[in-house]
Amino acid sequence: MLAAVTGAAGHLGANLVRSLINRDWQVRAVIHHDTKALEGLNIERVSGDILEEESLKRALNGVDVVFHLAGRISIVSWDRKEVEAVNITGVKNVVEVCKSAGVKRLIHTSSFHAHKQEPLDEPLDESRPLYDGKYPPYNHSKAEGEKIVRAAIEQGLDTIIINPGGMLGPNDFKPSHFGSTLLSIAKGKLPALVNAGLCWVDIRDVAEGMIIACEHAEAGSKFILSGNWVSLVDIAQKVATMIGVKPPPMVLPMWIAKSSAPLATLLDQIRGKRPLFTPIAMKELESNHNISYAKANRELDYEPRPLEQTLSDTIDWFQRNGFLTT
């Protein structure tokens, strides 16, 4: 079975490609820019851009399955144009090429952010309506992208939709937004935390769940692959204990974090640092605490590993790959 993976060099892509190899799949990595996350792997590499249909046609020609992971994750508002291009137009292009190329099955990566988070006191599952707002741009774009895929399913395209929770784990080469936060905690460079959290999931469990869904789920199925809600304070304490450093000294109430986020973002920009605690990031930390993976558990035997194991493996990976030496 030959699988093409868009976004193969990203965090989820790096883990999915490794899982596919372990299951004896043939893998064609569709690469836009860097290949660091794929070095040393026995895979086929092709250049492709989901915003250029001709290159996408060449990249997906002759494959059996497409895992569409390529997307732009953003916690700022000034890159709306790029976010919507990749997460909406890019999805449309992938769907159209899959149709014309005769791809047998498309696995589309959406997000739990594609759903309305409210009501917050009720579990969020696959039946929750899609997000219908314009802000944050990322949430809007993932909902619109999923609408395109749902329309393609109605037209007969064999597709599975996957909605991961907040992902973290090893093979985080770039690193990811939250990977950067973990590194700041581990280096003792994060001055404060926010009294909030997220429904976290090990990225390796998401990768495995996607493959199992591809191999066994009915066409048109949709699965939330999440984990459990854990506070940033608990995560920081666990990481600090693993490394032997002190956790951030302050924990800000959300109202203070929200009011100070614009200034913190501006200061990060001035310093040339990657903004982490932005107004959008604060909004996302108020998401639903119960992102239910009950359907995936029933139909795919999906069961995410404990967060402690994920954090331990992630910090160990960062240490072994030199991310904690500076």
* CA–centroid distance for 55 within its chain: 24
Residue 68 lies in a domain: yes
Enter the pTM of the model: 0.95
| Cβ-proximal residues to 187 (8 Å cutoff; 6+ apart), any chain | 245, 324
Residue 305 region by backbone torsions, left for phi larger than 0, else alpha for psi between -120 and 50, else beta: beta
- CATH of residue 221's domain is 3.40.50.720
Residue 12 lies in a domain: yes
Q: Is residue 239 part of a domain?
A: no
Domain count, the chain: 1
Predicted confidence at residue 280, as pLDDT, reads 86
Provide DSSP, 158-193.
Answer: -EEEEEE-EEE-S---S--HHHHHHHHHHTT---EE
Per-residue pLDDT of 124-164, as tens digits, reads 999 999 999 999 999 999 999 999 999 999 999 999 999 99
What element of type H or E holds 28? strand 26-31
Closest residue by Cα to residue 38 from 1, 66, 11 = 11
pLDDT band with cut points at 50, 70 and 90 for residue 118: very high
Residue 57 lies in a domain: yes
* Cβ count within 10 A of residue 157: 19
Residue-number span of the structural domain to which 55 is assigned: 2-174+200-227+289-305
Q: What is the pLDDT of residues 264-318, one digit of tens each?
A: 788 778 888 777 788 888 888 889 999 999 999 999 999 999 999 999 999 999 9
Query: Are the C-beta atoms of 181 and 194 separated by less than 8 Å?
Result: no
User: Which tokens hold the place of 10?
Assistant: 């990203």
What pLDDT does residue 255 have? 86
In 3D, which of 200, 165, 209, 203 has the Cα closest to residue 302? 209
